[in-house]
């Protein structure tokens, strides 16, 4: 039996912490709330170009999200190629048709979506300059090739996605989370 020695944990001291006077804390919290309260999910996008550097900076922010054991069990894929966006739209609309019209959706959910006008048509998946596919990594691979379980994957990916949405909003862009189920078509 071969034993591999895992490296000792390396802790980075928190040297960037800033403490603010309480009135400033409240002001900062209020400002952040006001800014985030302006955020809206949209389904109509401009095809105006957006600098890739801006998207990459938002992704760096998402990468700062907390995660179980700081494993960061997510992978972001930025899609800008029109042919790939078209393939994603076609596959997503196929799943959505089965959901909306194929009896998969509970009536209660359809009733909740009715005021939003949400249906299986997803033209914005081609119009938006970028699609950011968020993938959860259920496990990793250790240096010795053994499989390593990731813990709190859904929670961690949800937090990173929330950070991403906030960063996109604070940069002055708009976003939409689109979650067809199942999403296995994204694996290809």
- The pLDDT tens digits for 21-31 are 999 999 999 99
What pLDDT shows up at residue 1? 52
What pLDDT shows up at residue 16? 87
What pLDDT shows up at residue 116? 86
- The pLDDT tens digits for 14-71 are 888 899 999 999 999 999 999 999 999 888 899 999 999 999 999 999 999 999 999 9
Cα separation, 126 vs 81, in Å, equals 9
Angle formed by the axes of helices 22-37 and 153-170, to 10°? 90
Identify whether the C-beta of residue 166 lies closer than 8 Å to the C-beta of residue 58.
Answer: no
> Over pLDDT 70: what percentage of the chain?
96
- The pLDDT tens digits for 155-179 are 999 999 999 999 999 999 999 998 8
């Amino acid at each position: 039996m071969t034993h591999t020695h895992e490296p000792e944990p390396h802790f980075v001291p928190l040297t960037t912490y800033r403490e603010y006077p309480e009135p400033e804390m409240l002001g900062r919290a209020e400002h952040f709330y006001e800014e985030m309260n302006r955020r809206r999910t949209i389904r109509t996008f401009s095809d105006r170009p957006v600098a890739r550097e801006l998207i990459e900076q938002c992704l760096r922010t998402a990468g700062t999200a907390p995660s179980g054991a700081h494993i960061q069990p997510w992978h972001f894929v930025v899609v800008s190629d029109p042919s790939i966006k078209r393939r994603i739209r076609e596959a997503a609309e196929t799943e959505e048709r089965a959901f909306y019209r194929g009896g998969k959706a509970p009536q209660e959910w359809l009733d909740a979506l009715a005021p939003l006008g949400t249906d299986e048509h997803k033209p914005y998946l081609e119009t938006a300059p970028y699609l950011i596919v968020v993938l959860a990594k259920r496990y990793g691979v250790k240096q010795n090739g053994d499989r390593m379980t990731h813990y709190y994957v859904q929670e961690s990916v949800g937090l990173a996605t929330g950070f991403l949405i906030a960063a996109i909003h604070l940069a002055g862009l708009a976003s939409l989370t689109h979650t067809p189920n199942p999403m296995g078509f994204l694996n290809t």
